[in-house]
Amino acid sequence: MLVCCITRLYAQEVDAVTSATTHIVDSTRSNKVLGALSRLSLGGYGEAVMTRNFYSQSFNRYNAPERYRDDKSHGRFDLPHVTFSIGYDFGKGWTLGSEIEFEHGGTETAVEIEAEESGEYEAETEKGGEVALEQFWINKSFWQGRMNIKAGEIIVPVGFSNAHHEPMNFFTVYRPEGESNILPNTWHQLGISLWGRLGKWIYEGQFLSGLNSESFTAENFVQPGATSPYEFKVANNYATALRIDNVSVPGLRLGVSGYYGYTFRNSIKTPGSSYDDVKGALSILSADFELNRWNWLVNGGFDYAHLTDADRISEYNKANSTHHKYQDGNPFHNTNIASSAYSYSIQAGYNIFSQMHRMKKKQQLYLFGRFEHYDSMASGTNKSQYRYCAPYVASLGFNYMPIKQIVVKGEYAYRFFRKPNNNGLNSDSPLYIQPYNNEPYIGLSIAYQAWFLK
């Protein structure tokens, strides 16, 4: 009996110790998980857009505008941008940031066996769009964040739209048209960045891989040059970028930014000795501001870009475009390139719910107006052929925010062009220039921008 009692007491003590040990292990694991989650950041933003365009969608509408003057309207549904951001704080000032973006719904390709093709395998594109790793960087912070060094795939903050590209930062259903047409947007490159804040000054300087002039066009200037047709980004040329913002006045931010780098010969293709003197130096200067005070949200900006050797680059690109026109993946375009381009814009919105006592602390409703003009062929050879590259755009609409992270947008926009001076010429004259048709459209969108875990 004594042995049985001792055995039972020992078994109970072992069970108690085992239970306590299991509880400690489980508690330790839970603490580790909670600790890891406290260092993890998850977020993103996304937009769903519907538009009705009251003009022709033919690619020839600028070559023969009179032929498409009475075309019917057409509608579109779109997912311009859906992004997912993941960040992690390793401690001791080391952090990770990443962002993957799906543009226009991403891409869908599949290999299928076609019965009508006698069982042949065929690769088909089921949906257009792009998927890109827009950001991936490691950051080390010094002096409580007053100085940071960041390296990897980083945002180039030149121009308002690149520095503030999330949907809560602009009123229109799509990103502002001007900067998006002449500069890469959202502009991201591999490089290293020195950034931080000193008092009322926010600064960032970058050393980057250069743009590739093989992809420049008349309609979009240098905008396509940030992408690479290869599995890597060629870095025969380098570039620098700088942005400085001042926030001394409450509710007002003033910013300037710039970029400089060579763009020609930034490819695996060798141009040849006849182009040894061609550099393709690209200079960009930009200024922008934002006022968020007294229930007003007003912002605007101006961008000017200049490209040296534009005619020689155009000559080189057009020659390669013709020579390789039957090859898939050829990055060259058969187009002239401008030696300069510019854009400017101004928009203003007022929160009318601020005047309603029951609504002003819960929801926001901005009524806004916007005007912008840009020219991707401001100067260069055969500029007169590209007058459609210089439209004006006026917009009116609303932004309704039922909660801080959600916005519903409505917009009526009117894109129009400067009328040519025909000096009384008859429309049958070979010298007569047909005026372009105006391009009105309406749009609706819903967007979110939030951190789910931070």
> Could you tell me the pLDDT band of residue 209, with boundaries at 50, 70 and 90?
very high
Residue 287 lies in a domain: yes
**Which pLDDT tens digit goes with each residue over 308-350?**
999 999 988 888 876 555 455 566 777 889 999 999 999 999 9
CA atoms within 13 A on the CB side of 382: 10
pLDDT at 180: 92
Query: Among the listed ranges 183-192, 356-365, 398-407, which one has the minimum average pLDDT value?
Result: 356-365
Question: CA–CA separation, 308 vs 264, rounded Å?
Answer: 10
pLDDT at 443: 97
Residue 297 lies in a domain: yes
Mean pLDDT of the chain: 86
DSSP letter at 70 equals T
Residue 5 lies in a domain: no
> Could you tell me the pLDDT band of residue 207, with boundaries at 50, 70 and 90?
very high
Residue 44 lies in a domain: no
Total-model pTM: 0.85
In the chain, how many domains are there? 1
Residue 112 lies in a domain: no
Question: CA–CA separation, 302 vs 317, rounded Å?
Answer: 29
Q: Report the SS3 class of residue 286.
A: strand
pLDDT at 116: 45
pLDDT at 413: 97
**Residue 134 scores a pLDDT above 80:** yes
**Residue 112 scores a pLDDT above 60:** no
- Which residue range forms the structural domain that includes residue 444? 132-453
pLDDT at 126: 57
Pick the more confident residue, 156 or 10.
Answer: 156
pLDDT at 160: 95
Residue 24 lies in a domain: no
> Could you tell me the pLDDT band of residue 25, with boundaries at 50, 70 and 90?
low
3-state secondary structure 366-385: EEEEEEEEEEEEEECCCHHH
Do residues 281 and 295 make contact, with C-beta atoms less than 8 angstroms apart?
Answer: no
Residue 15 lies in a domain: no
CATH code, 193:
2.40.160
> Could you tell me the pLDDT band of residue 129, with boundaries at 50, 70 and 90?
low
**Which pLDDT tens digit goes with each residue over 394-440?**
999 999 999 999 999 999 999 999 887 777 676 667 666 778 999 99
C-alpha dihedral sign at 52, 56, 61, 65: negative
> Could you tell me the pLDDT band of residue 227, with boundaries at 50, 70 and 90?
confident
Residue 271 lies in a domain: yes
